[in-house]
Every structure is written in structure tokens, then in C-alpha cells.
Structure 1
């Protein structure tokens, strides 16, 4: 049966009849909205990020990390055109409301416009970082785009020029929504809904963590916001454009707060970490997760006391391949310290990986962790999507929160500790150094990487390695780095180093493993999976690297 095998990252609807989903399993699936039965499937060469229906429902546009957007006929999902001029992931694509044109937003910093035949009509350059969102202004040939550079830009297809450029104080803005009257709203990483007008901007506090998606419903006159604080909020827009909160709901553990769409004026559909989408009745405040089954994707692996622990999207801890504990939702990391193994993820909760017991709750998802000793006592630091580092004392069977470090202003993507120094890399490309003795900052670089940093590892002598979407491996000595090009041609997701630091393993979203020999300067490359490599761990006892992939496999690299 057709089902997703990885998280559903994008969702769209048409006429109350169809639902389309895009998944991290590379699949695009068309569903019958009435029965939630799959009707057809299409496949990208890499992660599918977003889907959108044409105004007449005859076509579906999908956007992917394979650097393409693709046009499919509905309902058979036959490929009609591929838009392939992008130099990086395509995050989003939208149809022109009246003409046979589509616009795409790419992490190569460009907005592009194509016709239905696949011909490039226009390319807009001007953003200084990844373009995450794009929308057409109703009744015009103008587009609005938002970017990780903290700006919202307006472009004219007629003149090919930049019409306006609004700086949102450098705050990353993942999503925009535009009403038929031309009111523009943005959702930023501070959890604010921002109203943009010709006279300026006005910020409305909305969430406790970053807003990942805004969705406008013209018929209902409502704006929906999704946040990593794991709430969905519905706003009524007043005559003056001011949003007023109409309803709020907590998201079930299976729902990924990245995408949603209106099925009708009272019903929303959401992407999930499971095999099917979720449905929410806003009138009855009722969720329907029927058919949302577990997926096999793995996100982390570690070895403790000779046993191999894994965890992934379904939140089930496996030990030596057998289920051991359940956490209830996607988890991102595993860390061993003080005789315990800890895990955490989207719910913002820290769990005991052997029992599933909740040890700590935070306001945003937990992304990564590192272990160290302080005063001879085991400690762990956990990195959050909201930039904090939660320092925990793990001693005598107790886990105690002892400090919160201001690591970054954005999601912490990787943590490592060596010789009394904590190294933290961030989604905003920055890196920071802290003393594990005093828990104070000792160094910071705002532009430490060319693009989003994804992970880091400790090296002997208080040194570190880090990887990024810029396809480079950085070897850090203090706050100075030697930058090495890697053999990867897609974003490098993770890194781990052997105990002596000679071998540094890197894994990419394209399923490639590349190991760098620091003594010879040589790389060895293999591709054990068509799904992305999600994590790497060096098992010192066996002198091997373990890599997990999004297809649920664990790969060994001696």
C-alpha cells in the first residue's frame, strides 16, 4: 500500500476533494480527502519539501532537495515538466493565480519563475541567504519572498526589478501569507506575526518559539500559525489588518509543525512524523490521526556498555535491534552519561532511553547533546531549537538541571566537548565556545560557516570539526579553522571522529559517507543508502563508525 516512510514535510488541498503530501522519503502522494485513501504516487530523487495545487486543480507542483521543482498532472501524477536550474534545495513552489506560471524559492538565494513547459521566465537575485518562502500578490505579476537573511523582498515580473526590500531586524523569517487585498504577514523565529505595509511593519507576539508556517484562508478570513512551541493558533484579521486570537490548540505528538492546509473553512490537515496526514476539526477542537502509522526512519545511534541504541521518527528506542522504550514522538539524539542513556526531540522533553521516563521539559524541541565531566561528575548539555544549552548533572541515578547557557539565537545544530571546552554550531552559521568549568562564553564567530551548520565533533587537543550545507569540513583550533572541501555534492548532515582524530567521518542527506584521513589528506567515499545519512557515532571499543539513515538502517564503517 502507498504510504509515507518518512516525515511529511509539505501538504496541500484542492476543493475539499484532494490532499497532496510531500515527504522526507522522497515521495509525493495524492489522497482522496473523503476516505484518506492514496490515489497516486510520484517520486523525487531526494527529500520532497513542499506541494501546491494549481488554482484549477489540474496540476500539482512539488519542490525538492534534489534541486528541482516538478509539475505533475492530477489525478494520475504524470510528470509534465521539471524545473532544474536551481543550485540548491528548492524549499517551496507556488502557482500564479491567473497565468500558467510557477514561482520557486531555493536555498541558492534565488527566486525563479517558470512557465508550465519548463522554460525559465525570470530569475531574481538579491537575497543574501537561503530563500525559504515565496507567494504571488493577488491581481498582480509581483511576488513576495522571505529568507534566512531576515528580509522580505517584493519583485516585479514585468520589470524584473526589486520593488521593495523590508529588513525585519535580521530575524530569520520562514513563512509569509498574503490576503486577496494584498495584506502581507510574516512569521519569524521570535514567534511573532509581522504585518508588513508600505508604511512599515508591526510585530504581534504569537508563540513561545519560532513560527514555521502561516496559512491564510480567504473565505473564512482567518490566519493560521504553526510553531515549534507545538501549538496551532487561529487568528481573525480585523478591518485594520490586526490579528486577534480566535482559537489555540496543542499539537498531538505525531504532528510536525511545519505544514498545514485548509480542507474547508473549519477543517485543517497537517503533516506528521508518520505514514499519513492528520486532520483537525477547528469547531469541535477534535483531532483525527487515523491511519498515521509509524515510519522506520532513524535519527540517532550510540553505544553504551556494549549495547547499540537507536531512535528515530516513531520515538521508539531500540537496543540491539529490539524495542526497549517509547517516547511518543520523534527524537533527534542519544547521549550516554553517568551510566544512563538520554534522548529527546520534537516534544521538548528529555527522556531516559531505557525506560521512557520524562526527565525534563523545555519550551521548544531538543536537537543535540554532548557529555562531559565537571568536578569529576558526569554532565550533559542539550541544545534546543530556541538556542539554549541546557546543562544537566547526571549523578547517582539523578538528572538535575543546573544551568541554561545562551549558546545561540537560533537552533543549536551540533554540540561537542573537548578538554574543558564546549563547542556549539548553529543554523544561522555561527559557532560558539564555552568553558565547561565556569559555564561562561570564551569565543564566538557569527559567520563561522558559509551556510547552515549541521553538526560537529570533538578532536584531540581541544580541537573540533564541523560540517555545513556549504559542503566543507572545518577543522578548528581555537576560533580559527582550516576549511577542507568534501566529496559531497549535497548538504553534509553529520560528522564523527575516531578517538585519535585521524579519521573524520561525514554523512550527507544524499546517503553518502566520506571519511577523511587527516594524516594523508585522502578521502574514502561510499554510498550505503539512497536515503539520507542522519547521524554518525564513533564506537571506540570496536574502532568503528556507525551511521543511521532515514530508511531505518544502521551502517557500519570500519
Structure 2
């Protein structure tokens, strides 16, 4: 049976007949919209991110983290051309409204335009950070791009010139949409929808967390916004005003990263499962038929009870055996006392072993670290909206929220604790140090990493280590780093260290693990236990090895080559 094996990150529709989905299993699947039957599938070499149909429905373009966009014929899904030349992940690709041209947005900071043969026709340079979203004007003469640099830029297709540079106040804007009359809608990380109509700009407070996708439907003048606050909102557009006409809580299975109109009353959504979800706007009803759980693991922990893991399906496992179903994607496992805590997309902090909800946050939870403060067990949980939520374990075993620290202005990607400090890294590349004793900020380095930071870990003597998309290993001491080149050729997802700091392991989105020996300054030969990404690393003290969890649902043993 054709189905996704990992979360679906992108969906597109055409004419109420076809639905296409792009997945973190590298698959692109074409579906019959009426029967929800897979018609054909194909693959990228890495994560498939987003896709779109041509206006006539004869072609599909998919954007991927393999640094390409690929053009397919519909419905055969035969490969027509590969749009290469990108230096990093391709986040989005969009067809020109009339000509045989395709625009791409890449994390290499550039916007490109190709013809259907895969020949590069234009390369627009000017963004200072990852380009996340693009949209053509209705007449196809201009192209709009949004970037993590906090700007919107309008480009001329004919001349390649930058026509307009719109400063959004430094707030990251992940998604844009353009109406046929030229009005631009932009959704930012502050939960605001910006309406830009010529020289007029209006901000609408739409969500309590960052907006991840805007979709505009011109015939009915409807705008859909999706946010990590787990709300779907439908807006009626009248002049420059946005009037909310429908709202729904997004089910735990649905990923608010992508949606598309199937018709004026029906939306199709990306999910964390094997197929797409459907929402009927007039009734507010969700249809998750055939959305089955997938096996991807997001976190593994070597615990006294065994090897504990959790992932996309929210099923806690010990030594591979299911123990508890939390029914929502979970990102981390943090032990505190005799408990193990977890959380993820719903923003709920759980006692992983009992399933008891402990705390509800306004945005997804991403990472955690345990520490001692005044002799009492504590933990800090990092969120998508930049907060560090501090909890204390009472003598009766209850978990109490004691503080909220604004660690960053963007998503906390990873957090670690030493005896005296908390250390966190952020999606904007920054790093922050906080005092455990006072729970006050010690230092923040805005440019700690040149790209998105993904992971960090503690080392002995109040030192830390971090990794990022820039493929560097950074060892931090006294708020300064020693930057080391790694053998990785793709983004590093995670890092872990042995308790004595003698070994540091790094894992990449391409399935490689490389272990660094600080004493010799040498890297051990890289190993690739899987072609899927490495999601987390931890040290197994009992067997003096690292454990690497993967999005393929397995946990791999990574031996250490002992020094001679």
C-alpha cells in the first residue's frame, strides 16, 4: 500500500480531483481526491518539503532538502527535469501563472527562476538569511519572497531588479500570499497577519504563536491562517480588513505547516501520519480517515529502565515495547526524579510513563534538560515561542511550574544544563546562558551560529557544545567558542557527549554519525547506519557507546573507537 512513513510537510490540490503530498520520508504521492487512493508516488533523495500544481494540472513541482526541486508529469509522476544549482534546502517551488517557468526559495538565501527543462533563467540575490516563502503576482511580472532576515522583497522577472524591499521590523515571516488585486498578506512569528496594499500597511493580531502558513482563495476572497497555537482561522477579506468567519482547534495528528483549498468549502492538511487530513469549513468537521501513525523516533534516552524512546506517533516505548500512547507528536524525553517528561506539538507537558498532563503551554514544546537547584530536582523545557519553562519536583512527586524565562525571540531548538548554568540554542542562530542560582540571563550571543542552531549538550567544567546547519562543532567556554570543522556535508541535527567529555557525537539529517575526540582533536570515521535522518543522540554508559535514534523508527548503536 502506498502511504507516507514519516510526517507530511506539504500538500497541494488541483481542480478538486488531485491531491499531492510531500513527506519527510522523501516521498511525493499523488492521490485521487474523491476516493483518497494513492495513484502514484516518487522520491527525492532527502526530505520533500512543499509542492504545487501547474495551472493546467499537467505538472507538479516538489521542493526538497536534497537541494533540488523536481518537475513531474501528472498523473504518471514521470520525472521531467531536476532544478539544481541550489546551495541548500529548497523550501518552496511555485509555477508561473502563465509561462513555463518555476520559482524556488532556498535556504542558501537566494530566489531562482527555472524553465521546464531545468535551465536557470534568473537568480535573485539580496536576502541575508534563509528564504522560506515565495509568491508570484497575478500577472507573473513580479515575484515576492519572504526570508528569515525579516524582509519581503519584490523582484522583476524581466530585469532581475529588486523593485521593493519591505522591512518587517526584523520579525521572521514564514509565509506570504498574494491576492489577484496585488494585496500582500504576510504571517509572522509574532502571530500577526500583515496586510500590505501599496503604501498602506495594516497588522491584525491573529494568533498566540507564530503563523506557519497563509493560503488565499481568490474566488471567495478567503484567507486561511495556521499557527503553532494549534488554531486554524478562516478570514473573509473585505478591502484591507480581515474578518474571522471560522475557527477550529487543529487535531494533534495535523501539522499546521501546510494546507490547500480542495474547493471553496474544503481544506486539505499536512499531518504527522500516513495520509492527509480534510477540514470542512461550513460544518467545522475534520476527517482523518486513513491517517495512520508513523514510526519515526524523535528522542531516545538511556534510562535505568532500559532504552526509552518516543516520536511522531506519541507512543512511549521501552526497549521497543509500547508502554504509553500520548496520541500526539512528542519531541524530547527529560528525566526528573523518577519521572520522565515529554511534550511536543500540542504544547502539553506530559508525565510520559503515566500519560498525565502536567502543564499546558501556548506553543509546541521542543526540548528539555534536568538540573539541580538548591538541592531540588528541576527541569527547563524549551518552546517554539522562545520561552524556557522551569519546573521543580516536589517531595510528593508533583511537578510545579516555578518560572518562565524568555530565553530567545524564536524557537528554542535545544537546551542543556551544567552545575551552574543553563545553555540554549535557537532557530535564529543565537545562544544564551542563564544562571541556575538566580534564573537570570548571564549572556546572549546573537551570532553564535551562522545558520539555524539545532542541538547542544553539556561538557564538564561549565562548558557546552553546539551544532547547527553550518556544519560546525562549537565548544563553548566563558561565553566564547572554539569552532571546529566537521566531516558532515549536510546539516547537523543533534549532539551528545559522554559524561566525562572525552567523546562528542554528532548526527546529521542525512543519517551520518561522527564522533569527535577532544583530547586528540581528531574525528573518528563517520558511520551511516541509515539513509534517514538522525533525530537524537545519547550516551549509553553501561556499554560505553552512543545511541542514535532515527526518523526511520530504529535506534542504532554507535561504538567508540578507543584510543591506542
Query: What is the TM-score with the length of structure 2 in the denominator?
Result: 0.98
**Following the alignment from structure 2 to structure 1, what is the Cα–Cα distance between the partners of residues 46 and 179?**
32
State the shift of 1:157 in Å.
1.0
Residue 246 of structure 2 is matched in structure 1 by 247
Tell me, yes or no, if structure 1 residue 287 matches structure 2 residue 286: yes
State the shift of 1:200 in Å.
4.4
Tell me, yes or no, if structure 1 residue 14 matches structure 2 residue 9: no
Residue 448 of structure 2 is matched in structure 1 by 448
State the shift of 1:418 in Å.
1.0
Residue 324 of structure 2 is matched in structure 1 by 325
Contact residue 338 and residue 395 of structure 1 kept, 8 A: no
Contact residue 177 and residue 216 of structure 2 kept, 8 A: yes
Alpha-carbon displacement from aligned partner over 1:519-544 (angstroms, at most 9, x marks no partner): 11111201111000001111233322
What RMSD over aligned residues (CA atoms) do the two structures have, in Å?
A: 0.8
Residue 547 of structure 1 is matched in structure 2 by 548
Structure 1 moving runs of 4+ over 3 Å: none
State the shift of 1:219 in Å.
1.4
**Following the alignment from structure 1 to structure 2, what is the Cα–Cα distance between the partners of residues 122 and 403?**
50
Residue 266 of structure 1 is matched in structure 2 by 265
Contact residue 371 and residue 419 of structure 2 kept, 8 A: no
Residue 360 of structure 1 is matched in structure 2 by 359
Tell me, yes or no, if structure 1 residue 349 matches structure 2 residue 383: no
**Following the alignment from structure 2 to structure 1, what is the Cα–Cα distance between the partners of residues 66 and 522?**
27
Deviates more, 1:391-400 or 1:247-256: 391-400
**Following the alignment from structure 2 to structure 1, what is the Cα–Cα distance between the partners of residues 544 and 400?**
32
Secondary structure of the corresponding residue to residue 3 of structure 2: coil
Residue 471 of structure 2 is matched in structure 1 by 471
Secondary structure of the corresponding residue to residue 526 of structure 1: coil
State the shift of 1:489 in Å.
1.0
Residue 55 of structure 1 is matched in structure 2 by 55
**Following the alignment from structure 1 to structure 2, what is the Cα–Cα distance between the partners of residues 58 and 372?**
56
Superposition pairs for residues 298-313 of structure 1, below 5 Å? Answer: 298-313=297-312
**Following the alignment from structure 1 to structure 2, what is the Cα–Cα distance between the partners of residues 33 and 425?**
41
**Following the alignment from structure 1 to structure 2, what is the Cα–Cα distance between the partners of residues 336 and 537?**
13
State the shift of 1:177 in Å.
0.3
Superposition pairs for residues 117-156 of structure 1, below 5 Å? Answer: 117-156=117-156
Secondary structure of the corresponding residue to residue 332 of structure 1: coil
**Following the alignment from structure 1 to structure 2, what is the Cα–Cα distance between the partners of residues 310 and 395?**
25
Tell me, yes or no, if structure 1 residue 487 matches structure 2 residue 487: yes
Tell me, yes or no, if structure 1 residue 256 matches structure 2 residue 238: no
State the shift of 1:22 in Å.
0.2
Tell me, yes or no, if structure 1 residue 84 matches structure 2 residue 93: no
Contact residue 72 and residue 80 of structure 1 kept, 8 A: yes
Residue 533 of structure 1 is matched in structure 2 by 534
Deviates more, 1:30-39 or 1:306-315: 306-315
Alpha-carbon displacement from aligned partner over 1:202-225 (angstroms, at most 9, x marks no partner): 211000000000000011110000
**Following the alignment from structure 1 to structure 2, what is the Cα–Cα distance between the partners of residues 331 and 161?**
44
Contact residue 52 and residue 60 of structure 1 kept, 8 A: yes
Alpha-carbon displacement from aligned partner over 1:24-52 (angstroms, at most 9, x marks no partner): 00000000000000000010000000010
State the shift of 1:288 in Å.
0.4
Alpha-carbon displacement from aligned partner over 1:268-309 (angstroms, at most 9, x marks no partner): 000000000000011111110000001010000012214111
Residue 378 of structure 1 is matched in structure 2 by 377
Residue 558 of structure 2 is matched in structure 1 by 557
**Following the alignment from structure 2 to structure 1, what is the Cα–Cα distance between the partners of residues 305 and 185?**
52
Alpha-carbon displacement from aligned partner over 1:345-394 (angstroms, at most 9, x marks no partner): 00100111111111111000000000000111111100000000000012
State the shift of 1:197 in Å.
2.9
Residue 338 of structure 2 is matched in structure 1 by 339
Secondary structure of the corresponding residue to residue 461 of structure 1: coil
**Following the alignment from structure 2 to structure 1, what is the Cα–Cα distance between the partners of residues 283 and 373?**
51
Equivalent residue pairs, number: 557
**Following the alignment from structure 2 to structure 1, what is the Cα–Cα distance between the partners of residues 99 and 466?**
45
State the shift of 1:419 in Å.
2.3
**Following the alignment from structure 1 to structure 2, what is the Cα–Cα distance between the partners of residues 201 and 107?**
27
Contact residue 372 and residue 419 of structure 2 kept, 8 A: no
Contact residue 537 and residue 548 of structure 2 kept, 8 A: yes
Alpha-carbon displacement from aligned partner over 1:204-247 (angstroms, at most 9, x marks no partner): 10000000000000111100000000010000001x22111111
**Following the alignment from structure 2 to structure 1, what is the Cα–Cα distance between the partners of residues 558 and 391?**
32
**Following the alignment from structure 1 to structure 2, what is the Cα–Cα distance between the partners of residues 241 and 20?**
32
Superposition pairs for residues 393-472 of structure 1, below 5 Å? Answer: 393-396=392-395, 397-472=397-472
**Following the alignment from structure 1 to structure 2, what is the Cα–Cα distance between the partners of residues 422 and 3?**
41
Query: What is the TM-score with the length of structure 1 in the denominator?
Result: 0.99
